[in-house]
């Protein structure tokens, strides 16, 4: 058997080396436009684009491209998505940037979205194609509207007055001979978004129960439940400022919270105009709030309920640029009845293209915690600790992931071959 495997690997390796040795000429003529499609926020169906837009060469690295297509995505008030494509010129097109937009309604299927994106790409690439041999093969057509089509002369009347409603639910059940789990969740929300005002409210709940049979007579059961409701109003105060008022109520067995109520108001300032939010945001946000808590068990501070004030300050940066993307921020909160009860959290994710084919990714957060006023005085049983049924006393929390990717070889990736998926084997 080992001989057969060795022979098979030898044949495959020899075939690959023979293929490389035979590749004397580049697979594509150099005059074709080289493009790099970059979708850091959304999933782009590159196989579909390669089939539908066949008059360009697709390259795997922006350093080999003449046009870098950077696609960003933002949710709209109606529940759909607004896509923006920046056509960034490189090489002989350096310094040139064109931007087009495409809106996909909430009910759009995946096929409709990729069709709309492909159409946007075609329109944006037309001006770059001029001057190449491929330009002679490009034709432009216009679909004349039907004779009886009525062109709108006034704004369309929206019977829903910009309100969008959503209902969701989920049930997850799993088990083995000695383990059973049930997880139930549901929610309902409504939002109304205009340039001047954003309104919303939501209700949600989750219940999870797990049972572990330790032996024929001993069963350990873990249950957690959380429910919440919130409402908010956000007012635009110009191209850089915004204000928010919010109300919230919740119940969380994990946080020893029988009932929590909060009312808060805040201000936000964006260093860049909000019109540039698809590519960059640098915001400073301050909020002050009043809270009332009722607890399931007496806390370590000897109370069953309390009313307290707090305030919160956050600064964050989100940017999507040709070199990569980043989102970092710092958030601090402090209770005003006891200034020693504070929390500070630094969070972020960064993806940077270092050199050709090499990208680094860093994600993580670290928190300094001094505000766990809800911890029960009676402590937790070993089962509650092991099953994480309630939050534990801690001074800090952290999570971090660091990774890289490096690719090399042919700069082209025009070919579409979906046979056997990616061709990987798992066993």
* Band of residue 151 on the pLDDT scale cut at 50, 70, 90: low
Q: What percent of the chain has pLDDT over 90?
A: 41
pLDDT score of 421: 63
* Band of residue 11 on the pLDDT scale cut at 50, 70, 90: very low
Q: Which of 164, 125, 136 is nearest to 36 (CA)?
A: 125
Q: What is the pLDDT of residues 338-374, one digit of tens each?
A: 999 999 999 999 988 887 778 889 999 999 999 998 8
Q: Which of 246, 238, 245, 292 is nearest to 269 (CA)?
A: 238
Query: Does residue 82 carry a pLDDT above 90?
Result: no
- Work out the mean pLDDT of the chain and round it to a whole number: 84
* Band of residue 243 on the pLDDT scale cut at 50, 70, 90: very high
What is the C-alpha separation between 68 and 54, in angstroms, rounded? 16
Q: What is the pLDDT of residues 159-187, one digit of tens each?
A: 888 888 999 999 999 999 889 999 999 99
Q: Where is average pLDDT lowest: 260-264, 304-308, 317-321, 364-368?
A: 317-321
Query: Does residue 17 carry a pLDDT above 50?
Result: no
Three state DSSP letters for the chain? CHHHHHHHHHHHHHHHHHHHHHCCCCCCCCCCCEEEEECCCCCCCHHHHHHHCCCCEEECCHHHCCEEEEEEEEECCCCCEEEEEEEEECHHHCCCEEEEEEEECCCCCHHHHHHHHHHHHHHHHHHHHCCCHHHHHCCCCCCCCCCCCCCCCCCCCCCCCCEEEEEEEEEEEEEECCEEEEEEEEEEEEEEECCCEEEEEEEEEEEEEEEEECCCCCEEEEEEEEEEEEEEEEEECCCCEEEEEEEEEEEECCCCEEEEEEEEEEEEEECCCHHHCCCEEEEEEEEEEEEEEEECCCECCCCCEEEEEEEEEEEEEEEEECCEEEEEEEEEEEECCCCCCEEEEEEEEEEEEEECCEEEEEEEEEEEECCCCCCECCCCCHHHHHCCCCCCCCCEEEEEEEEEEECCCCCECCCCCCCCCCCCCCC
Q: What is the pLDDT of residues 190-232, one digit of tens each?
A: 999 888 899 999 999 999 999 998 888 888 888 999 999 999 9
Query: Does residue 52 carry a pLDDT above 50?
Result: yes
Backbone φ and ψ for 383, nearest 5 degrees, come out as -65, -40
**Cross-strand bridge partners of residue 172:** 183
pLDDT score of 24: 45
* Band of residue 46 on the pLDDT scale cut at 50, 70, 90: confident
Tokens found for residue 70: 């950077």
Query: Does residue 54 carry a pLDDT above 90?
Result: no
* Band of residue 419 on the pLDDT scale cut at 50, 70, 90: low
Domain ranges for the chain, please list them: 30-137
Mean pLDDT in residue range 139-151: 64
For the domain spanning 30-137, the CATH number is 3.40.50.10070
Q: Do strands 34-38 and 57-58 pair parallel, antiparallel, or not at all (unpaired)?
A: parallel
* Band of residue 18 on the pLDDT scale cut at 50, 70, 90: very low
The model scores a pTM over 0.85: no
């Amino acid at each position: 058997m080992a001989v057969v495997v060795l022979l098979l690997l030898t044949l495959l390796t020899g075939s690959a080396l023979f293929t490389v040795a035979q590749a004397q000429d580049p697979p594509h003529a150099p005059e074709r436009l080289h493009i790099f499609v970059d979708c850091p926020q959304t999933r782009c169906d590159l196989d579909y684009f390669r089939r539908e837009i066949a008059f360009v060469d697709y390259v795997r690295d922006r350093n080999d491209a003449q046009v870098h297509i950077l696609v960003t995505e933002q949710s709209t008030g109606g529940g759909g998505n607004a896509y923006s494509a920046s056509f960034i010129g490189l090489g002989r097109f350096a310094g040139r940037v064109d931007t087009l937009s495409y809106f996909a309604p909430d009910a759009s299927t995946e096929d409709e979205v990729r069709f709309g994106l492909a159409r946007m790409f075609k329109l944006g690439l037309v001006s770059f194609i001029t001057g190449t041999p491929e330009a002679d093969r490009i034709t432009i057509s216009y679909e004349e509207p039907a004779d009886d089509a009525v062109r709108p002369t006034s704004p369309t009347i929206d019977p829903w007055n910009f309100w969008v409603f959503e209902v969701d639910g989920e049930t997850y059940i799993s088990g083995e001979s000695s383990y059973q789990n049930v997880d139930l969740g549901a929610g309902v929300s409504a939002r109304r978004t205009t340039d001047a005002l954003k309104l919303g409210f939501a209700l949600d709940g989750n219940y999870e129960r797990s049972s572990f049979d330790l032996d024929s007579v001993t069963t350990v059961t873990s249950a957690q439940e959380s429910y919440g409701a919130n409402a908010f109003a956000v007012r635009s105060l110009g191209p850089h400022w915004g204000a928010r008022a919010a109300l919230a109520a919740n119940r969380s067995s994990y946080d020893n919270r029988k009932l929590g109520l909060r009312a808060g108001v805040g201000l936000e300032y964006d260093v860049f105009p909000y019109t540039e939010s698809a590519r960059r945001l640098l915001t400073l946000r301050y909020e002050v709030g009043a809270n009332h808590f009722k607890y399931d068990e007496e806390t370590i501070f000897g109370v069953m309920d309390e009313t307290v004030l707090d305030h919160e300050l956050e600064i964050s940066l989100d940017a999507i640029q040709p070199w990569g993307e980043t989102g970092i921020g710092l958030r601090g909160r402090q209770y005003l009845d006891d200034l020693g009860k504070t929390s500070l959290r630094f969070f972020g994710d960064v993806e940077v293209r270092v050199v050709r084919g090499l990208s680094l990714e860093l994600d993580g957060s670290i928190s300094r915690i001094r505000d766990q006023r809800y911890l029960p005085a009676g402590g937790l049983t070993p089962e509650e600790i092991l099953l994480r049924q309630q939050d534990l006393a801690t001074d800090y929390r952290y999570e971090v992931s660091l990774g890289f990717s490096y690719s090399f070889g042919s700069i082209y990736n025009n070919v579409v071959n979906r046979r056997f998926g990616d061709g990987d084997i798992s066993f």
